[in-house]
Amino acid sequence: MPRETKRARLERMHSEYALLCELYPAPKCALDFRSPWQLLVATVLSAQTTDKRVNSVTPELFAEFPDAASLGAAAGERVEDIIHPLGFFRGKARNIIALSAALTQRYGGEVPQSMDALTSLPGVGRKTANVVLGNAFHIPGFPVDTHVMRLTGRLRWRDDWRDVHPDPVRIEREITACFPPEEWTDLSHRLILHGRAVCHARKPDCAACPLSDTCPSAA
């Protein structure tokens, strides 16, 4: 079988993405939030758990601590008690208290709108920053989570699709080079939605996948 050229792969990527756009016409962030700060906190809490579970604890968290100043001054034990169902609650409590305190001290409680500023905050990595930029500020961002890693690998949208432990920053750089910035956030959402609904980690439902005709990994 002849090797796919870069041009052919790019054309296939865009045709497959067009199908994802039809399948998920109005994607949105699955985390509930009313402000950039709430989204930042919720995204930090979402590590290694589900968005649904995060949404189950944040109403109580934000009712008791309605802004960065109050959460930044909170007692760790109380925050741990609220977010206990999420797992890794001690580390997450430390992070959201520390980042809220840093926001209060450095930015007057307002979430900054740059990658460098966001990733300088405790517990905030590049994926979290991209979520906040894209969904709170509509600044192009491409969050790379486990679903995005899995789908871009199975679809062979990236050169390192064989790697067992791919570099998220490299994935972000390679995939965003193929799409206009205004599509980056929704592209990530659609890949995540498809990963949850169809292209499961253990057993992808290729029979129900509209990309199966062109996906190199289709069963």
Positions annotated as catalytic residues are 127, 145
Task: Tell me 34's DSSP state.
Answer: S
Question: What is the three-class DSSP state of 219?
Answer: coil
How far apart CA 188 and CA 183 sit, in angstroms, is 9
Element (H, E) at 17: helix 6-23
Chain-centroid distance, C-alpha 140: 13
Question: What is the three-class DSSP state of 87?
Answer: coil
Instruction: Find, among 108, 98, 44, the residue nearest to 72 by Cα.
Output: 98
How far apart CA 107 and CA 184 sit, in angstroms, is 27
Instruction: Find, among 119, 90, 100, 195, the residue nearest to 153 by Cα.
Output: 195
Q: How far is CA 12 from CA 77, 150, 153, 191, 207, in A?
A: 51, 17, 14, 15, 19
